[in-house]
Structure 1
Amino acid sequence: MATEKPEPVKVLYCGVCGLPAEYCEFGPDFDKCKPWLREHAPDLYPDLFAGGETDVEKTAEQLQGVGISSGGGAASSGGEASASKQEEVKRLPGGKIKKKEKPEVVIEKIVRNKRKCVTVVKGLELFGVKLSDASKKLGKKFATGASVVKGPTEKEQIDVQGDISYDIVEFVTDTWPDVPESAIFFIEDGKKVPAA
């Protein structure tokens, strides 16, 4: 007597936000998902689509403004195609939009044992600075220990022993002229504050 294996569950994922179709209403872009859901999964939200075509037309116009085409048709002119490529945004899983960030250096002072401090420098590599060379220069300038470590987000950062957070801005801008002072920020009380 052989037992039959259960069939795997087939899940329909939304083409817009990437969530399972029945969870689109809980995602961040449900209005943008509606045209896709109407076409691919009309039985999931029958009361939602009873209103008519106007809702779908509005969301289709919004999607084209973001750079996502709702119909799959080609743009009518070359100018429109280049404009939509420029406006195209990177979408993360879950439908979140990744913003283009300009490079910046973030300096944070972390206090340990109520008297020992570590100054953390993040983002120098975005300006073409080699972190190993930068840590050597920082350690030599401030006569302290400095090392390149992986931070909590798996990005490399420089940890410098001691509280040098306000002396470091002048040193960074003098040593690496590619780093403008307007791109340097401090983390104070959990908020990002410009150094300038």
Structure 2
Amino acid sequence: MAEKPQPVHVLYCGVCGLPGEYCEFGPDFEKCKTWLIQNAPDLYPQLLKEEEGNEVDKVSGQLQSTSVSDGSLTSKPEEVKCLPGGKIKKKEKQEIIIEKVTRNKRKCITTVKGLEHFGVKLSDASKKLGKKFATGASVVKGPTEKEQIDVQGDIAYDIVEFITETWPDVPESAIFFIEEGKKVPAV
């Protein structure tokens, strides 16, 4: 006669609510790590090793970020952003990208992305562009959920000179065109 199967005991994570084995696929594994180390160290033994290594790294990182000047200790804040899954977000390059988009075979729209990196207020910039080129210009959200300026008409090559004259903080070497899917410097 066959034995009656025993019920399986599943440990659910106190942070995300998933079974402990599936926390790494959950919404925020970084928050789950501390709970897993305390309550289920046998599920992820590599977390214990990482935790011990991270403590050593944190101490050495703190020692490196402090500097002695005039006999006082000062610490520098780090500008690293950690994304879910442990990935580190790289700092965006400060560059302006100008792209010409054709619609209805004859009409063109010139998009300007990245002016905000140089301290330019996009609403003011769109007004100035609209007045200078006598066209419609507006601030819209692009496909990556970042704001950009859409200017009606093909003004791609005239706009570089206008940007460098109007906002002297913007170097001409930081302006790029998108031509045939390739990024080309405006210089």
Q: How has the CA–CA distance of structure 1 residues 187 and 12 changed in structure 2, closer, same or farther, with 3 Å as cutoff?
A: farther
Per-residue deviation, 1:173: 0.5
Of 95, 101, 110, which aligns to 1:110?
101
Per-residue deviation, 1:120: 0.6
1:45 and 1:188 mapped to 2: Cα distance? Answer: 49
Q: Is the 8 A contact 1:124 1:131 kept in 2?
A: yes
Per-residue deviation, 1:107: 1.1
Report the residue type matching 1:43 in the other structure: D
Q: How has the CA–CA distance of structure 1 residues 12 and 101 changed in structure 2, closer, same or farther, with 3 Å as cutoff?
A: same
Alignment deviations for residues 93-152 of structure 1 (CA, whole Å, 9 cap, x no partner): 222211122422121111112221100111212222222222222122222221222223
1:10 and 1:25 mapped to 2: Cα distance? Answer: 13
2:53 counterpart of 1:60:
yes
Q: Is the 8 A contact 2:142 2:148 kept in 1?
A: yes
Which structure has the highest strand share of the two?
2
Aligned pairs, number? 165
Which blocks of at least 5 consecutive residues in structure 2 are unaligned? 1-10, 27-32, 68-74
**Aligned alpha-carbon RMSD (Å):** 4.1
1:21 and 1:192 mapped to 2: Cα distance? Answer: 45
- TM-score, with length taken from structure 1: 0.62
Q: Is the 8 A contact 1:12 1:20 kept in 2?
A: no
Work out the percentage of aligned pairs sharing the same amino acid. 72
- TM-score, with length taken from structure 2: 0.65
Q: How has the CA–CA distance of structure 1 residues 147 and 38 changed in structure 2, closer, same or farther, with 3 Å as cutoff?
A: closer
